[in-house]
Amino acid sequence: MVENRTIKTAQLKVGMEIHVELSTRSKMFSRSANVAHPDHYDATPNTLVDPVVLGLPGALPVMNRAAIESSIMVGLALNCSIAEFSRWDRKNYFYPDLPKGYQISQYDLPLCFDGELEFIGANGQPQTVSIIRAHLEEDTGKLSHDISCRHGSMHVNALNQSLIDLNRAGTPLLEIVTHPDLKYADDAVIFCQELRNVCRFLNVTGGIMQRGHMRFEPNVNVIITTDEGKQIATPIVEVKNLNSFKAVKGAIEHEFNRQIKQWQETGLEMGAGMKSTRGWDADRGVTVLQREKEDAHDYRYFPDPDLPPVVVTEEWKQSIATCIPELPQQRRRRYVDEYNLTDADALTLTTDFDVSNYFESCIDMLQQRTTSDMTAAHMGKTVAKLLLNAGARRANEHHRELHDLGVTPEQIAQLIEMREANTIGSSAADELFDLLCEHDADATTLAESCGLLQVTDSAQLDSWIAQALEAEPEAAANYAGGKDNALGRIIGTIMKLSNGKADAKSASDQIRRQLRDN
């Protein structure tokens, strides 16, 4: 440790490179089926290939129009400018998962540029990350290291060996590059989640992280201010191929601490040739040096001679723009305006594409079924309350997603109808929600068979009330004397005696008549 390298403040600085596999039916430059399309998720290794993917002599690439349109759609959603003229370049490097020995990409003339994405940061305040570019390219194959597998009837440990699967090679890949606008690891995670959500709302990718549909590469360094007031930037580190939000957070936080320590020990500052790439070791919670980062000239970019440029007319761009659905930010505003949800609840319901669609389906089903005078705002607020309370509780308990609990939108609508008609109490409604997650029966039938319907029979209520007043004489006296909060204790006893079946409102009215109106 060098004593004179003392730190007054240290500020994290993060830019993101995000790789999005597009779920077109075929690959970027060939008719070969695309492993990122749901029909081919589990294809046998090395079966989604053809002469173009393999780079065989004489095979010529042809552009995938759907991939270009999907990329333009993402660019428009990110408020990017769309290039009227862009071209394809060859990025040359040798690696076993790159059959041709080069990757078809875009260099100085990308398809989308100068955009931005707004999101709500960890501090609850709006933030904006600027997008430098979003360029289209083809993905590489996939190498598996230190694997174990079966060979016939024998189990083989293939340590110190690698296997290659070229199914992913040639998949359309949109690379989104941001300015280094992020200052906290938590905000970087939220930004990545928001971007994934936008892409899934657009239906351009499955967005399944475990399948590599989206891979995040934070470019991290630290701006250090010394006690003498001098500002120093540490060398930039690019952490490669992170496929979980936990990994994004862990890698950035580790790099922040590691780079500070490294500067204190070595005094290394950002400069020419200082950038490096590192991998993330999730088991140890550390990044591991991979290589010194190449500069652009190391890849010997030059225009691809086999492909024409991409020319985007205003008419084409506008036709794509009309296909853009309601995006997460727009849905949040509508949920607040139309359903009177809080900003926090609207955010929770739109942080995942499937959850948001599930919420919408529940409201649609309730609107179709209900014969009451429930307003749209009341429906939305009621569905949201049920999902964010009973639904979120069960999702946390069972480590499931809210939309994947097993209860259908029709069952949700039935449950709410029963609650609105006061045929089931609040505690029984929670119990019924749990039962619906396990059964296909309609809510009314299940509530009847499980004895969850509220009892409004006056004779039975009178019996429970009498027992409760006898068990809670002090509360009864306090309520009779004008202390309203004493009623809660009495009602609680009634609900316990009735196993939650008593109609709390009817019981409250009856107690008021007995203790106050006489």
Taking the domains of the chain in order of start, what are their residue ranges?
15-219+294-321, 328-434, 458-517
Q: What is the pLDDT of residue 296?
A: 65
Indicate the DSSP class of residue 457. Answer: -
Interval 93-131: pLDDT, tens:
888 899 999 999 999 999 999 999 999 999 999 999 999
Distance CA 209, CA 299 (A): 28
Structure tokens at 502: 């008593």
Report the CATH fold assignment for 458-517: Arc Repressor Mutant, subunit A (1.10.10)
**171: amino acid identity, one letter:** T
Q: Phi first, then psi: what are they for 104, rounded to 5°?
A: -80, 120
Q: What is the pLDDT of residue 422?
A: 80
Own/partner contacts of 276-279, CB < 8 Å, gap of 24 or more, are: 276/235, 276/236, 276/237, 276/238, 277/237, 277/238, 277/239, 277/240, 278/237, 278/238, 278/239, 278/240, 279/239, 279/240, 279/241
pTM to 2 decimals?
0.84
Distance CA 444, CA 410 (A): 12
Spatial CB neighbours of 79, under 8 Å, sequence gap ≥ 6: 115, 116, 117, 131
Of the candidates 73, 101, 250, which has an alpha carbon nearest to the alpha carbon of residue 176? 73
Q: What is the pLDDT of residue 1?
A: 44
Distance CA 428, CA 434 (A): 10
* Cα→Cα distances 119→71, 187, 190, 395, Å: 21, 9, 8, 25
Q: What is the pLDDT of residue 146?
A: 59
Structure tokens at 421: 């008609």
Indicate the DSSP class of residue 154. Answer: E
Q: Phi first, then psi: what are they for 227, rounded to 5°?
A: -60, -25
Low-confidence residues in the chain, pLDDT < 50: 1-2, 151-152, 154
Q: What is the pLDDT of residue 147?
A: 56
Q: Does residue 304 sit in helix, strand or coil? A: coil
Of the candidates 264, 271, 273, 276, which has an alpha carbon nearest to the alpha carbon of residue 237? 276
Spatial CB neighbours of 176, under 8 Å, sequence gap ≥ 6: 16, 17, 18, 20, 74, 78, 131, 133, 134, 195
Distance CA 384, CA 346 (A): 9
Q: What is the pLDDT of residue 471?
A: 87
